[in-house]
Structure 1
Amino acid sequence: MALLGLDLWSMPRYFFWPPQYVSLMNDDGIDALAVFIGIGLLTYAAFGTHNNRMAGVLLVGSVAFVSLIMVIELLHMVFIHQYQMGISTILCLYMILNIMDIAKNRNTRE
């Protein structure tokens, strides 16, 4: 998550369609949110804490962000035929499935 956010943060013009939403889709605040969630996930894993509420917020935030990125990339592929975003779309789908599997199978006992 942190690397995905940093990658999007480093490319200020990654998304370019639809033109009326370009500034919103390339907003640095949204990219910083992904970096923050990624650092939160790393910190949560490093300290070995078991807080169900924090884990839920981090997992929901990460799957929501990756889902948003995947939908935007799909829109680029379908409507303006930018097929080079296909690999990253597939990787986003893999991340979503992986996060959902982690959320389903993790130990919720404190």
Structure 2
Amino acid sequence: MSEHLAIEVTYGLPNKQSLISLTVPPSTTVEQAIVLSGVLDIYTEINLSENKVGVWNRTCRLSDEIKDGDRIEIYRPLIADPKEIRKLRAQKAKEEGRANKITGAKQKRESSAKSSNNE
């Protein structure tokens, strides 16, 4: 077993991203690696009690031990709830008559045909 583990710590904003490579001793936790990387000094808005963290796109706890080659990711809080956004988008599509492209178009044609026959 090597004396040190080679890892990366990453964090990004829409206009600035950082990928910091460093070596840490075995048995280092995710939280210790983040502190050692210096990313908290670069991005002062990071709050480890609020921001979720993960290793290779899988959320983890700050107390988890890292392995050689791990990429620790610090996630930003979501601006909007994805479920709510999908619900609003579906509602808008319904209102515009494009919720179901097959039946929605058919319903439009049928209703316009009925109105043409009534004239």
TM-score > 0.5, shorter chain as reference: no
* Bigger Rg over Cα: 2
Relative to the length of structure 2, the TM-score reads: 0.23
The structure that is strand-richer by fraction is 2
The structure that is helix-richer by fraction is 1
Relative to the length of structure 1, the TM-score reads: 0.24
